[in-house]
Amino acid sequence: MDTSAFLPISKEDMQSRGWWWYDFLLVTGDAYVDHPTFGAAVIGRVLEAEGYRVAVLAQPDWHSADAFAAMGRPKLGVLIGAGNLDSMVAHYTAAKRRRSEDFYSPGKRAGLRPDRAVIVYANRAREAFPDCPIVIGGLEASLRRFAHYDYWDDAVRRSVLVDSGADLLVYGMGETATKEIAAALRKKRPVREITEVRGTAYLTKTPPEGLALPSFETVRDDKRAYARAAMTEAAEHDAVRGRTLLQSHGDRTLVVNPPAAPLDGAALDAVAELPYTRTYHPVYESMGGVPAIDEVRFSITHNRGCFGGCNFCSLAFHQGRMVTARTIESVVREAEALTKLPDFKGYISDVGGPTANFRHPSCAQQRKNGLCAHRACLTPEPCPNLDADHSDYLHLLRRLRAVDGVKKVFVRSGIRYDYLLEDRGSPFLAELVQYHISGQLRVAPEHCVDGVLDCMGKPRIGVYEQFLDKYTRLNERCGKAQFAVPYLMSSHPGCTLQDAIALACWLNKKHAQPEQVQDFYPTPGTLSTCMYYTGLDPRTMASIYVARDPEEKRAQRALLQWRRPENRAVVLAALRKAGREDLIGYGPDCLVRPERTAARPDAKPVKSPKPAAAQPAKKPAYKAGWAKPKPKKNARTTQRGKKK
C-alpha cells in the first residue's frame, strides 16, 4: 500500500520518509481525507508547504493517552480539531437521538470520535505531552470560543478554551493564524507569549484593552445579558472593524482577538492548489472507504464567506460575511486536473461554496469599512448599496464548460435567489437553467410567514415566488423539466403552531408535497440559537415565541408533510388544538379528511395517496417549481445553517 503521497499517520510512515522527529501532530475527529474541503487536510498541507513536518492522528482512541503518544512528542506543538462538523451535531439529531451513521468515518461507522471531541482530545494530548503547546481550532472550537448555550446540556457552557486546557484557540478559517503561530513556536517563543495573532483567543489574568462582554457567570445566570453578549459577538466578527473582546471566566479573562483578514484571491489559489490527493487514506479501503468524499470528490470550491445573513447559519460566525473568491484561472486549472483523474467521467458535480453565486463583497465599501454591524445586506430588503453582479461567476462557468474532457458542469450548492433577482437583465439564470442544473436546483425559502422569516433573516416569501415564476418560464422556454427543491424549516424561534399551519396551507395552495424538511437545530454560536435559549431577539431584545415542547415540535414538522399517512393523527390533533377544524374536510383548502367513526358513518375512508408517478398530472410538476427529490447520499456533510 503506497501512502507516500499522504501525510504520515504512523511512526512507520515517518521512518519510511527518514523522519526521526516531526514538528506538529495534527489531531482530527474525522477520518483522514486529503481533500481541500476537509479542514485538517488544508491545515496539514499549508504547514507542509511552509516547510514543517506534519503527522496526522485521525480519530484516535481517546480512552487513554497511548494513541497520542504513539508517534512521539512533536517538536513544536499539537493542533486539534473535532472535524468538519461540531462533534455533537455529528452524533445527535435535532431530537437529541443518537445517529446511527457517521459519514466522516470509515464505512459510516458511528462512535469513532468522542462527544465534545476538542475537549477530550486536548486532555489526552496534555496527558501524553505535559509541556507541549496545544492549539485547538476548526469549526467546533470556532463556534464555542465564547461562553455559549449548549443544546445538549440545555445550559450555558464556558469557552471551550477553558474546558479543554489548551494554550491557544484558532477561530475562523485558520491558515494565516496557524502559520503565524507555527513561525513563533519555531523561533522558540513560549506559547503563553503568543497573544498578538488575529483570529486567535487566549486566557490571561492581565487582559489588554478591549470591549468587555458580560462574564461567563453573568451570561450563565441572566438571559438578557446572554442575548446582549451574543449580539456583540456577532457584530464584532469583522476583520476590518472588529475589536478585541474580553470575557471573564472566574479569575481569568478570555481574550478574543479581532478576526484574521480573509484570504484574497491569490492566497485562496495557493491553498486550493496544494498537492492534495483528493481522496481518503488507503488504510480505510478495507473498511468501506469514507463516504463523505462522495459528495465532493469532483466538486470545486470557488469562494469563501457569506453575506446572506441567515440567523440560523453557523457559517457567518466561522468564515465571516466578507466574500472572497479564487481567480478564474486557478479554478480552471483545478477542473483540468480533475479531468486527469482515472475515475473522472466528465462531470463536475459542483462549482460553489457557502453560497454558489457570490463572487465578491456585497458592496464596494466593505474592503475599507467592513460590513455593517447592524444591517443585513439582503434582508428584510436588499441594501441600496448592494452590488448584485453575476458577470464574473458567469464567465467562470463558461470557461469551465469549455475545458476539454468536461461534459457537464453543475451548480449544486445553494444559490441566493433574492440576490439573483437584483441582478436585473443578467443572463445568469437563463444559462444556469440551460447548462448547470442536474434536474434539481436547491433554494431555501425556509418559511412563508413574515414574522418567522424576519427571525430567520430570510427574505419575504413574495421574493421566492417571483423567482419561482421566472425559473419556471425559463425551463418552459428551454423545454426542460427541472425542479426547484426548497429547504423548509419547522420550529424556528418565532414560529408558532399557527405559523406552521399557515406554511402547510401555503404548500397546499402551491400543490407542493415536500420530501425534505428540517427541525430547527440550535447549533452553538448562532443568533437563532440565542433566540431559542433566551426567548429574546438579540437584535431588538423583544420577546419571541419558542417551540420547546417535543410534541409541538413534532406537530410543526408533521404539518409540513401533512399528506403522509404516518403524520395524519398528529396533524389532526394539531389542527384541533389550534382551532383550525376548517382545514379538516373535503374542500380544496383542507389539509386532511375527517376520521371515519361511529358518530360519522358517512365519512369517507381515508386512502393512502398514490405514488407521485401514478397520479395523472394536469401539467408538468416543474411549473410549480417543486419536485420529489431523491434522498441525499450524505445529508449531514454540512452543518445547518446550511448552504443557502
Q: Is the pLDDT of residue 632 over 50?
A: no
Write the CA distances from 201 to 207, 238, 331, 542, 548, integer angstroms: 12, 15, 33, 31, 33
Q: Is 523 helix (H, G, I), strand (E, B) or coil?
A: coil
pLDDT in tens, 485-527: 889 999 999 999 999 999 999 999 998 888 778 999 999 999 9
Query: Does the pLDDT value for residue 307 go beyond 60?
Result: yes
Is it true that 11-211 and 265-624 share their CATH fold? no
Q: In which band, very low, low, confident or very high, does the pLDDT at 600 lie, cut at 50, 70 and 90?
A: low
> Of 135-139, 175-179, 474-478, 594-598, where does mean pLDDT reach its minimum?
594-598
Q: Are 337 and 322 in contact (CB under 8 A)?
A: no
CA distance 163 to 152: 16
* 530 close to 227: Cβ distance less than 8 angstroms: yes
- Is the pLDDT at 644 greater than 70, yes or no? no
With beta carbons less than 8 A apart as the criterion, state whether 232 and 245 touch. Answer: yes
Cα separations (Å) of 46 from 175, 176, 199, 255, 267?
7, 9, 17, 26, 11
- pLDDT at 629 (0 to 100): 45
Of 209-223, 329-343, 584-598, least confident by mean pLDDT is: 584-598
pLDDT at 5 over 50: yes
Which grid coordinates are listed for 86? Answer: 461540531
- Has residue 618 got a pLDDT over 60? no
Q: List beta partners, residue 156.
A: 149
265-624 has which fold?
pyruvate-formate lyase- activating enzyme (3.80.30)
Q: In the beta sheet, which residues pair with residue 202? A: 255
C-alpha to C-alpha distance for 169 and 118, rounded to whole angstroms: 11
Distance of alpha carbon 222 from alpha carbon 230, whole angstroms: 12
Percent of the chain topping pLDDT 90: 87
- Whether residue 636 is predicted with pLDDT greater than 60 in this model: the reply is no
Query: What is the DSSP code (8-state) at residue 384?
Result: T
Per-residue pLDDT band for 1 (boundaries 50, 70, 90) equals: low
- Ranges of each domain in the chain: 11-211, 265-624
Q: Cα 366 from chain centroid?
A: 23
Q: What is the mean pLDDT of the chain?
A: 92
- In this predicted structure, the answer to whether residue 210 has a pLDDT above a threshold of 50 is yes
Q: Strand 347-348 vs strand 408-409: parallel, antiparallel, or unpaired? A: parallel
Candidates 109, 113, 68, 63; CA nearest to 88 is 113
Residue type, 371: L
CATH number listed for the domain at residues 11-211: 3.40.50.2300
For residue 296, which of 313, 320, 272 has the smallest C-alpha distance? 272
Confidence of residue 626 (pLDDT cuts 50, 70, 90): low
Task: Give the pLDDT of residue 635.
Answer: 40
- To the nearest 5 percent, what fractions of the chain are helix, strand and coil? 35, 15, 50
What would the grid cell of residue 514 be?
Answer: 415536500
Report the C-alpha gap between 61 and 597 in whole angstroms: 58
Q: What's the rounded mean pLDDT across residues 335-348?
A: 96
Q: CA–CA separation, 73 vs 628, rounded Å? A: 53
Cα–Cα distance for residue pair 515/376, rounded to 1 Å? 30
**pLDDT tens sequence across 430-466:** 999 999 998 889 899 999 999 999 999 999 999 999 9
- Which residues have CB under 8 Å from 3's CB, separation 6+? 9, 13, 281, 282, 283
The average pLDDT across 527-544 equals: 98
Give me the pLDDT at residue 620, please.
Answer: 39
Exposure string of 499-516, with b = 16+ CB inside 10 Å and e = fewer, is bbbbbbbbbbebebbbeb
pLDDT of residue 14: 96
Characterize the bridge pairing of strands 155-157 and 211-212: unpaired
Residue 625 CA to residue 429 CA, distance in Å, equals 14
Output the nine-digit C-alpha cell for 358.
Answer: 457570490
Q: Which residues contact 400 (CB under 8 A, 6 or more apart)?
A: 331, 332, 335, 348, 351, 406, 409
Cβ proximity of 360 and 291 under 8 Å: no
- The pLDDT tens digits of the residues spanning 53-72 come to 999 999 999 999 999 999 99
Predicted local confidence at residue 151, as pLDDT: 97
pLDDT at 641 exceeding the cut of 80 = no
Question: 71, 57 in Cβ contact below 8 A?
Answer: yes
Q: What is the mean pLDDT of residues 322-327?
A: 97
Q: For residue 613, how many C-alpha atoms fall within 13 Å in the half-sphere facing its CB?
A: 1
| Section 163-176 average pLDDT | 97
Average pLDDT over residues 267-295: 96
pLDDT at 390 over 80: yes
Q: How many CA atoms lie within 13 A of 169 on its CB side?
A: 30
Q: CB-based contacts of 198: which residues, under 8 Å, 6+ apart?
A: 176, 177, 239, 257, 258, 259, 260, 261
What value, to the nearest 5°, has the Cα angle with vertex 86 and ends 644 and 141?
Answer: 105
pLDDT tens-digit map of 409-438: 999 998 999 999 999 999 999 999 999 998
Annotate 106-149 with three-state secondary structure. Answer: HHHECCCCCCCHHHHHHHHHHHHCCCCCEEECHHHHHHCCCCEE
Cis peptide bond upstream of 242, omega within 30:
no
Element (H, E) at 555: helix 550-559
DSSP secondary structure letters along 471-521: HHHHHHHHT---EEEEEEEES-TT--HHHHHHHHHHHHHTT---S--EE--
Q: Quick one: DSSP state of residue 429?
A: H
CA atoms of 194 and 631, how far apart (whole Å): 47
Average of pLDDT values for 17-36? 97
Burial class (CB in 10 A: 0-12, 13-18, 19+), 163: middle
Backbone angles phi, psi at 414, to 5 degrees: -65, 150
Calculate the alpha carbon distances from 411 to 89, 431, 432, 439, 559 in Å: 26, 11, 8, 11, 31
Between CA 263 and CA 253 the distance in angstroms is 29
